Structure 1
């Protein structure tokens, strides 16, 4: 299978994981920002987890980026970056998203490493699913980065700068002067 044939399934998977992560983070934020009185979590005081907000931003950015991948605004890119290929811009954007998803997934896993003791509560199941889909989205981004790097490295490009070597036909020896 050619690497380019993997792009569409990987982008579809990433888009689905982003939608699911968006829903799960919205559910978590709704729960923590509207705790009922007497809730054992944080004494019933409303709060939010900053990492949940970061994962929400990651999913929104990824959904926005995925819409422009198959129909990029070529005129905008050509105007802003005239010497850079769209494939290179895509790989740079994927690298930024990869980094954001890695941070979000890693911190979420370090905060909630093992929630098997509280699966009877829906809040714990949401956190576990949120962490799992964050890692799945990161894996899809890893695959897209590998496929994108294949495209960047295999494409032949004209050199940006050409150096013309002119051979001198003069028969006089060069004279070095000391300053």
Structure 2
């Protein structure tokens, strides 16, 4: 199976995003368990980050299937439906990660406000991994846009390294 240069990078970003979302899921799960047992309450933003992490974990295999299904068959002038599906799914998750990370950062901007001990470290890690996930998803979305722009412009997307293309054209 051949992959375009844009798909290879997106697969790498999706692998990083999946790992980050799994860590975020564990951190948010621990935080909700801790606050429910200690204080009989939980922070709604932590629940939002939990849902976002779970949806991300479910979305990554779908995006990978979209990439594997049509990446070799997409050529200039064909339908961009699968790129659009991938882009819309990423945009929904992008907004969810942005909202969750921004509100969590506003609520716990420093270690002083997050608290001391393990609970404080978990909150700071939770905020950090939410921003990491947001950033990685942003980079993956940029590569979707680049892929779409290359196809829209009629550029044949390279399946071979640049060195091989130069040798064959000479």
Q: TM-score, normalised by structure 2?
A: 0.76
Q: Displacement, 1:33? A: 0.4
The separation in 2 between residues aligned to 1:69 and 1:2, in whole angstroms, is 16
Contact kept? 2:11, 2:64, Cα under 8 Å: no
The separation in 2 between residues aligned to 1:4 and 1:118, in whole angstroms, is 39
The separation in 2 between residues aligned to 1:87 and 1:48, in whole angstroms, is 38
- Are 1:4 and 2:7 matched, yes or no? yes
More helix by share: 2
Q: Note the 1:131-170 alignment, pairs <5 A.
A: 131-156=127-152
The separation in 2 between residues aligned to 1:117 and 1:91, in whole angstroms, is 36
Task: Determine the structure 2 residue equivalent to 1:31.
Answer: 34
Aligned length: 140
Instruction: Report SS of the residue matched to 2:26.
Output: helix
How much is the aligned-residue C-alpha RMSD, in angstroms? 2.1
Task: Determine the structure 2 residue equivalent to 1:70.
Answer: 64
- Are 1:96 and 2:99 matched, yes or no? no
**Bigger CA drift: 119-128 or 132-141?**
119-128
Deviations 1:130-177 (A, max 9, x none): 00000000000110110000112221499xxxxxxxxxxxxxxxxxxx
Superposition misfits of 4+ residues, deviation over 4 angstroms:
116-120
Task: Determine the structure 2 residue equivalent to 1:19.
Answer: 22
Greater RCO structure (CA 8 Å; 6+ sep) = 2
Instruction: Report SS of the residue matched to 1:34.
Output: helix
The unaligned stretches of length 5 or more in structure 1 are: 36-44, 75-82, 159-179
Instruction: Report SS of the residue matched to 1:47.
Output: coil
Deviations 1:31-67 (A, max 9, x none): 00000xxxxxxxxx31110000000010011011001
Instruction: Report SS of the residue matched to 1:70.
Output: helix
Q: TM-score, normalised by structure 1?
A: 0.72
The separation in 2 between residues aligned to 1:155 and 1:96, in whole angstroms, is 23
The unaligned stretches of length 5 or more in structure 2 are: 71-78, 155-170
